[in-house]
Structures are given as C-alpha cells and as structure tokens.
Amino acid sequence: MEFKKMRRTEYCGVIDRRYLDQQVVLEGWVNKKRNLGSLIFVDLRDREGIVQIVFKEGSSIFDIGDCLKPEYCIKVRGIVKERESKNPQIKNGDIEVICDDIEIYSKSEQLPFMIDDGFEVNDNLKLKYRYISLRNNKYQDIFRIRSKALNLFRGFLHNDGFTEVSTPILNKSTPEGARDFLVPSRLNKGRFYALPQSPQIFKQLLMVSGFDKYYQVATCFRDEDLRSNRQPEFTQVDIEMSFVDEDDVKEKMELLIKHVFNSMLDLNIKDKFIELSYEECMDKYGTDKPDLRFDMQIIDVKDDFVNSDFPMFKECIENYLEIRAIKAKGVDFTRKQLDALNSFVKDHFNAKGLIYIRYKDDQIVSSINKFLTDDYKNMLIEKYELKNNDCLFIIPGIKKTVLSALGALRLELADMLGILKDNTEFKFLWVKDFPLYEYSEEDGRYYASHHPFTMPNEDDIKYFETKEYSKIRAKAYDLVLNGEEIGGGSIRIHNDLIQNKMFEALGLSEYEVNEKFGFFVEALKYGTPPHGGIAFGLDRIIMFLANVNDIKDVIAFPKNKKGECLLSSAPGKVDDMQLRELGINIEK
C-alpha cells in the first residue's frame, strides 16, 4: 500500500518488544532530536508516550530526518528493532524503530515556552498558548483521569436507574445567591436571560414530572471573585431523587463517591463517612469544612482566665465574650514567626490579637508572661498536659471572629509544622444541620444560607410563627473532603405553604415571589413528591484524583483571575450594530 494511504499501527508509547521485527506506522510530534553524524535519533511523542525513531545515513530520508525540529507533526514507517543502548527511563526504552519512510504533516515555529516540566513559565503565557501547554504529559494524564471519573459517575447512576436529562442554559435571573451572568435578549429588548448557577429549579420540576431519579453533568456559571479552587464556569454532577429523606440521599451518595475513588485510585474505602453538625464543626474547628486529617481542635479556655489581670481577658470576662485556644505540638518558632501569626489573625480576621503560652525547657514562655503566676502556669501545664514545645495559641473576642481566626490559624499551623506533608489519606465528612438563614446586618434582612427551596428541620418549623428565623435548621448537607467542600445538597420543600413561609422570612412580597418564582410555586400545587438531591463539584473532585492544587489544571480552557480567557481574548468588545440590535447603549 502507498505510504501516504497507510494509517497508524499503534500509539507510540504502546510500541514494545511484542512488535520486534514488525513494520509499524506511527504518528505524532517530534519531542527531541539528536544528530550523531551517521545516525539521527528522534523521540516521537503522542498521547501514550514516546518511542525512539532512527534515521540512518545513506537512506533516502536521512536529509528529511535531519531537517526535523521540535513539535513538527509527522508520520513515519519503519521496522521495530532491539536497542543496543537501552533507556530504562521510559517503558519501551529497549526498542527503537528504524525509519524507512516519513511524511511531514505540518511544521512548527519555535515554541513560546518549553513543554516539559522543570522550566519556569509565566502563567498568563501558558494560558494564552493553552493548546501547547496541554501537550505536556501531565495534562494528558489529568484529562484522561477526568474522562474516566466522569464515566464512573455516569455508569453508577445509570445502573442505579437514574435518567440523564439536560436542562436549559438560558434561564431567568433569580438574584438570591451569587451574581448571575446575564444574556440580553434580541427578540425581547430590555429583558435578559441568566446563565444557570445550577439547574436547581428545573431538577426539582423533573421530580414534580415523575422522573424519580435524575442526574446531569451540568456546566454552571457564577460571576464571583476567583480563587485557586474556583472558576466562573464549572462542571457539577447534579443529582435529584424523589421519595427520599436526608439519610437516603447521603447513603446513596456515599456509595457513589466510594465507587469513584476506589475505582480510580485502587483504594478500599469501606467505613461510613463521619457526620458532624454545623455547630460542632464551628465550635471544634472554626469552619464548616474542616480538614479532619489532623486533630488540633479548638478548646474553650475562658474559665481558666476568670481571675486573670490581663486586660484583653478581663474585657472578655466582663462583656461575656469568648476566650478560645488551640494546642499545637512541636512548636519551635522564632519570635519573627510568632509575630507573623499575630499579624495574620489581626489583619485577615480583625482579631484582637494572638496570645501564645509555650512550654519549653521545663518552663512557660509566653507573650503575657508577667500576667501568669506560678500557680497559673502549673495549672495550665497539668490541665493541658503540656510537653516540651507544646503551645497554646489563644484568641479572645467576639465568638464569630474568634472561631474564624482560630480555624484559619489551625490550617496555617498545620502547614508551618508540616503536619500534612506526604499525607495521602482521604477524610470524608458530612456536615449537616446548617442554619436555614443568615442575617445581614448591612442589609437588615435574612438571606437563605443555601437557596430558598431548602426544607427546614421539622422540629424547627414552629419558629416561623415566632419569627425566630435564626433558630431554624436546614435539612441541608455538605460533603467535605480534606477541608474542601466537594458536594452540597438538601431535602427540598414540597409543600407550597412551607415554601411561602420561607419567602416571607426572606422579606419577599407576593409580587416579588410571582416575578421570580411564580411558575415554580405553582408547580408545588400539583402533587409534588418529597424529594432531595446533591451537586458534586466535578472539577474539585478531579483535583483530588489527579493530586493537583489549582483548579485551572483540571479545566481544559480555564479563565485567569480576572475571568479572562487569554487564548481567545474573551470577554471582548462587540460592534455597535450588535448592541443596537439588543437595545443596549454602553456609557463611556
């Protein structure tokens, strides 16, 4: 057969001793070239790996081999032979392909940066040339992991009787959560669609429709500030079930997550996931997504300092404020490091300050040493079982500030002390019993902690009548892994009377409810089953499975911190004619 018509025999990285003395056709990119005079060696790369191609002097294609440069895209034909000088660094380093024909598909200009790891490359440059970055084996592996994980999610849900349904991308704006991305309507001037933050309302309507079990791999959008684990568009595995309660959903989802992690990482996770209430999490860890791979719980030390003369403690005792602490082991910090921790809690959390009491060389060393009598010191050593280089870090003040500051300090200390270095365990946690509402002092009103369709705890419905909204717990639950929320859901309201109470507490008038949610509230009047669900952040889960720390690494074409796509220059300007068609005027 004519060479030009021959198709690839196998991937480069798959060619091994099984192909010895056989003719193969390979396609890929030139990774490296070495010219030794009478021999030219080319490392040919594709998604599966590298194989060495040899051009021998005197062959008709030797000069073509000599002109090859990195990232040329080529096809070669040749015979697989055993290598004289073997390379143990690659899996097929004991064979090579003696080339007898070649076709150059396309040439490559000099790359803006080196593809291989080990070179410092500006992040913005890598995003601008993302299609080149993605040639790196690291990214090839990550997106194979993503594809495999997605198939595991789909396979489990399909086999369990879930139906995959796509819900609308162009929807109505309901500004009760994060900011919407808005899309102007040309046919309905002055009106806007919103891109979905989640398929929330539509998946509930599918339960009203009788689908019983739904799922969707949904692209969602939120116009919010970006972080290392957040992007403006993201993917979630969205799930809803009818005739279930909280325990039913959590039990099924545990099986799903164990299936994915066990299959992907060859693990054997069997134990039931730990459950803690929101209140327990905040009291013990200062956050509603604690990392349980290490202890260092927050402790209440207020009673220990009731008679203290230290001004900060006296003020807290007199004004019924908090004095809380965490105990850390192996603390041998310099004064500069301790001062930096003090600045950390003050600058980032507006804490009053950080007090340390450290046991070192059989004595107490403290930032408030002159306020500690020998009896106080002995009491603290005995009560908290202080050993050499154990340290109590104490923060006094308002409860919310104290807990937030200590929660962040706990993570900062774990990092400084190397507690989680080389830690490979997965600690799953269900957080439940969230407050149904959050009160905004600035706006003087309540907001839904999750969304306005979350079912209140039946025991707390009585507080609607007394308007004690802060006492109402939600039938909501988050799945947390190693300090990161990877999923969140709730049991939904299926009764229009309770739904109206929810809206009333949010201060929404009948007109506002009708404007924003009228079609949904009406649906609740036509036989709505009890239902609930969850949404898993696929991107965050892939970060764990691929062991990467930046969400941009698991999204093929991510945005930068400003929400810009440096590859396509989005968002971009549009011409005046498009704006006129939409009835939009941009103020200069």
Question: What are the residue ranges spanned by the domains of the chain?
Answer: 1-106, 121-274+480-487+529-583, 294-417, 435-473+495-528
Please answer whether residues 213 and 163 qualify as being in contact, where contact means their C-beta atoms are separated by less than 8 angstroms. Answer: yes
Cα gap 333→339, rounded to integer Å: 10
pLDDT by position in tens, the chain (length 588): 788 889 999 999 999 999 999 999 999 999 999 999 999 999 999 999 999 999 999 999 999 999 999 999 999 999 999 999 999 988 999 999 999 999 999 999 999 999 887 678 899 999 999 999 999 999 999 999 999 999 999 999 999 999 999 999 999 887 656 789 999 999 999 999 999 999 999 999 999 999 999 999 999 999 988 777 789 999 999 999 999 999 999 999 999 999 999 999 999 999 999 999 999 999 999 999 999 999 999 999 999 999 999 999 999 999 999 999 999 999 999 999 999 999 999 999 999 999 999 999 889 999 999 999 998 899 999 999 999 999 999 999 999 999 999 999 999 999 999 999 989 999 999 999 999 999 888 888 898 998 899 999 999 999 999 999 999 999 999 999 999 999 999 999 999 889 999 999 999 898 988 888 889 989 999 999 999 999 999 999 999 999 999 999 999 999 999 999 999 999 999 998 999 999 888 887
Fold adopted by 294-417 = Gyrase A; domain 2 (3.30.1360)
Which residues lie below 8 Å from residue 329, measured CB to CB, with a gap of 6+?
A: 387, 389, 390, 417
Confidence (pLDDT) at 294? 96
Confidence (pLDDT) at 458? 95
Q: What is the pTM of this model?
A: 0.93
Cα gap 160→253, rounded to integer Å: 11
Q: How far is CA 358 from CA 153, 338, 342, 351, in A?
A: 49, 11, 15, 20
| Pair of tokens at residue 587 | 């103020």
| Pair of tokens at residue 21 | 């003395």
Confidence (pLDDT) at 177? 65
Fold adopted by 121-274+480-487+529-583 = BirA Bifunctional Protein; domain 2 (3.30.930)
- What kind of architecture, by CATH, is found in domain 1-106? Beta Barrel (2.40)
Which 8-state DSSP code applies to residue 272? P
Which residues lie below 8 Å from residue 54, measured CB to CB, with a gap of 6+?
A: 39, 40, 41, 42, 78, 96, 97, 98, 99
